[in-house]
């Protein structure tokens, strides 16, 4: 994976961003493995984009807990080191189909909470409209939750 940066063997690349690639594997259902896509970090102020991602998830989780955002969920995330460099194993969210979102109860209140969350955390590059780094979680129709799964961009 580190050499090809793409699907190889049983590893399937399901997405690439500006700094990381996400992979699934049949032996890890419900999880993603994220690796850096370049040797040097995209952001000049960090040594590793994957390590930055992990640290920011932990930081944003603390902020979310402190401000009691009841409808915001961040993935379980673990950082590992390997001979090829760091990688993250992260919970993979199952997002609700967009056509179901408009039918949710209390959608305006939840959207206001999400906007407040973005303002307080200073996160950017996140959009609920097209599931860009966030989306409503499938199975939470009675008590809707928004999964936020990329927190690298901050204002």
Q: What is the pLDDT of residues 93-145, one digit of tens each?
A: 999 988 888 888 888 899 999 999 999 999 988 988 888 899 999 998 889 99
What domains does the chain contain, in order, with CATH numbers? Answer: 12-148 (3.30.200.20)
pLDDT digits (tens, 9 = 90+) for 65-101: 999 999 999 999 999 999 988 999 999 999 998 888 8
How is residue 123 annotated by DSSP? Answer: B
pTM of the model: 0.88
Ranges of H-type helices in the chain:
49-66, 98-101, 107-121
CA-to-CA distance for 114 and 139, rounded, in angstroms? 19
Who's near 71: CB < 8 A, 6+ residues apart?
Answer: 110, 113, 114, 144, 145, 146
């Amino acid at each position: 994976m580190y050499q090809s940066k793409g699907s190889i063997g049983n590893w399937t690349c399901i997405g690439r961003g500006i700094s990381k690639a996400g992979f699934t594997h049949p032996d890890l259902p419900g999880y993603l493995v994220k690796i850096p896509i370049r040797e040097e970090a995209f952001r000049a102020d960090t040594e590793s984009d994957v390590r930055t991602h992990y640290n920011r998830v932990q930081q944003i989780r603390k902020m979310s807990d402190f401000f009691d955002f009841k409808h915001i969920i961040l993935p379980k995330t673990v950082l590992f080191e390997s001979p090829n460099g760091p990688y993250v194993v992260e919970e993979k969210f199952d997002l609700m189909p967009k056509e179901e979102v408009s039918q949710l109860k209390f959608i305006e209140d939840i959207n206001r909470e999400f906007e407040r969350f973005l303002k307080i955390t200073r996160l950017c590059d996140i959009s609920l409209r097209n599931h860009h780094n966030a989306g409503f979680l499938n199975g939470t129709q009675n008590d809707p939750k928004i999964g936020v799964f990329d927190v690298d961009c901050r204002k």
